[in-house]
Amino acid sequence: MKDVRHQYRLDDVRKLFGRQQVALDGINLEVDRGERVAFIGPSGAGKTTLFRLLNCTLRPTSGHIWINGESIESLHGKRLRQARRAIGSVYQQHNLVPRLRVMHNVLAGQLGHWPTYRSLISLVKPADLELAHAALRQVGIADKLFERTDELSGGQQQRVAIARALVQNPDVILADEPVSSVDPTLATAIVRLLIDISQDMKKTLVVSLHSVDLALAYFHRVIGIKAGKAAFDLAPDKITDAMLEDLYSGHFRDPSMIEGGSESIRPIAYPSVG
């Protein structure tokens, strides 16, 4: 009988590119269903590689990964496609088609559920417009359904990417640096939006963040990644200035990223996400 207590379980996972480039080195990790987790760490620490393992676009060089109790090593063909459909990914660069209208980009979240012929027909005559409209309402831009995507602001495009993940109806939402290209006010709104959606829809949420302040203020569990290893895995109030300084030592960083550390984090007023 499968152990489905954990959305993810990673056991001594290593990922090498080529013969010598070690991206991840001995990651042990469990993420429970419905949990909300933030990853922080310097650029090049291995966070994006870890996310690509979690969304099944990469496989580990060694070690084991289980998703909903199934080893990814056992997933091939149809079963692998099914596993990927249960994972909604939101990326730093949005991964949208700029010249298409918003409705097309949102409904792209359904492509994994549709046969090829229906996907092609949808480019001419979009199906399930109400589904796209409902998802856009959830992210606060319902009025943008028929807009060209490249005419939207960066923050609005990120909301389109989140809406695309919503119509996929995944079990887990993976967001890799989803707010690094927007201003701080919008960044806070988008992180809050992701949390609200995960709570309302009972989804697991795993987010990689450049902003330490956002991770400490909004997530109950924060994992620091450095040089391909997990430096710590703690509640925000257990993370000290010294831990953060060590995590980012030797890397350029904006001092505001860790200003005051965990000791001075105060609740952030939730801005409107409309």
CB count in 10 Å sphere of residue 146: 10
pLDDT tens profile 205-260: 999 999 999 999 999 999 999 999 999 999 999 999 999 999 998 654 443 343 33
Span(s) in the chain for CATH 3.40.50.300: 1-86+172-193+201-274
pLDDT tens profile 96-136: 989 999 998 998 887 655 555 454 455 555 667 888 999 99
Of the candidates 158, 216, 192, the one whose C-alpha atom is nearest the C-alpha of residue 270 is 192
Q: How much of the chain, in percent, has pLDDT values that exceed 90?
A: 63
Residue 40 has pLDDT above 60, yes or no: yes
Buried b (16+ CB within 10 A) or exposed e, 24-42: bbebebebeeebbbbbbbb
Rg (CA), the chain: 19
CATH superfamily placement of domain 1-86+172-193+201-274: P-loop containing nucleotide triphosphate hydrolases (3.40.50.300)
Indicate the pTM of the whole model. 0.82
Query: According to the model, what pLDDT value does residue 270 have?
Result: 30
